Amino acid sequence: MLNTGSTAFMLVAASLVMLMTPGLAFFYGGLVGRKNVLAIMIQSFISLCWTTVIWFVVGYSLCFSGGEGGIIGNLNMAFMNGINLNTMFPGNHEIPLFVFAAYQMMFAIITPALITGAFANRVRFPAYMLFLTLWLLCVYFPLVHMVWGGGLLAKWGVLDFAGGIVVHASAGMAALASVFYVGKRNVIERGPHSIPLVALGTGLLWFGWYGFNAGSECRVDAITAQAFINTDVAASFAGMTWLFLAWILEKKPKFIGLLTGSVAGLATITPAAGYVTLGNAVVIGISAGIICYFAVALKNKLKWDDALDVWGVHGVGGSIGIIMLGLFATKAVNPSVNIEGWLVGGSSTFFLTQILSMLLVCTYCFLFTLGMLHVINLITPVKVTKEEEIAGLDNSLHGEIAYEQD
């Protein structure tokens, strides 16, 4: 029976998740140089439009139709076939299915947009359009079906409350593969051109993340509240941990560090938000701040040109969250799953299943993305020319500029 409270909440949650993609555009836009702001921002905004088209045509159907235990769904619900205003979401029969479809669409929009920060200033727009299309069809949609659509990983007993495997680990590993493929930038920028723009983006991402995590309960109940508070606490502890580490090791408390650490905490708590206690959310946040900080330091030492630290923040953060879920999940928080994490009295089986699934997904996302980029390059060049990079992608690719040049 329709629950108007849950329906209203889910419409707000979907709106919050939608806001995260413009927030990501501001976050990434502030981190790049003045000549490349629009080029990175359009990659987020184009996902708002193009992913919506793909989702309507085949995406929702490929994610949430088909039999149990499979890898990807079928086309029975292509073009939203069979869904009308009176069709209820079968997961709880409290909200219209259209609302659930819209909410999940917002996840599909932001996930490939996360990857763009890794290859900032180096990829041509036609290649990115193909990248976006193929990655959704061959990576994101199968992962959603396997984890949230009753597919293979769900049958194994894998849990992922709001996207540690489906969103962050997959995007992070695709980002790393992209970095290896496109290579280093010819023009190394002096640093973020606008830290205030990064702060604005972080605020929008953090605000939207409440819809991302709390909304994943798909109704309003105690678990919704638990996911909400866990999200805020983990982000705050991760941000402070990163800030203090930078203060100690780099001798100054850096604003970018505080912002990046907060995003790392948000990514890390995502898979566990509705399954762990508030105390363990603190542990997850601190762990995210420490491990993601040193993952970024390792990336810098190895000279991987992940321009905006997508792998270190989202890839590593999402993977840590999946592992922590295997340690701390408890039915005392979420009685809908009869599973306990290894450190709260459960067996090691669930913990090992989480690790195995994370490793399999990360391996597939990395290898497929690497191969996909090679195929795309046969169709249209992936990399910009050195001359285009020197001139800046805003003008050379899009014929627009964000700022008048002095």
Residue 91 burial (C-beta neighbours within 10 Å; 0-12, 13-18, 19+): middle
Work out the mean pLDDT of the chain and round it to a whole number. Answer: 96
The predicted structure's pLDDT at residue 1: 84
Residue pair 362/173 in contact (Cβ under 8 Å)? The answer is: yes
Q: What is the pLDDT of residue 109?
A: 98
Q: How many CB atoms lie within 10 A of CB 281?
A: 28
Whether the predicted pLDDT of 149 surpasses 70? yes
The third-level CATH classification (topology) of the domain covering 4-398 is: Ammonium transporter fold (1.10.3430)
Structure confidence by residue, pLDDT tens digits, 17-38: 999 999 999 999 999 999 999 9
State residue 402's pLDDT score.
Answer: 92
What CA–CA distance (Å, rounded) separates 275 from 288?
17
Closest residue by Cα to residue 275 from 141, 164, 146, 349: 164
Instruction: Examine the pLDDT at 67 and tell me if it is beyond 80.
Output: no
How does residue 187 score in pLDDT terms, banded at 50, 70 and 90? confident
For residue range 267-303, what is the model confidence (pLDDT) as tens digits? 999 999 999 999 999 999 999 999 999 999 999 999 9
Query: pLDDT at residue 406 above 60?
Result: no
Q: What are the angstrom distances between the C-alpha of 163 and each of 111, 151, 266? A: 9, 15, 11
Average pLDDT over residues 206-223: 97
Q: What is the pLDDT of residues 100-122, one digit of tens each?
A: 999 999 999 999 999 999 999 99
The answer on pLDDT for 148 being more than 60 is: yes
Across residues 339-359, what is the average pLDDT?
95
Residue boundaries of the structural domains of the chain: 4-398
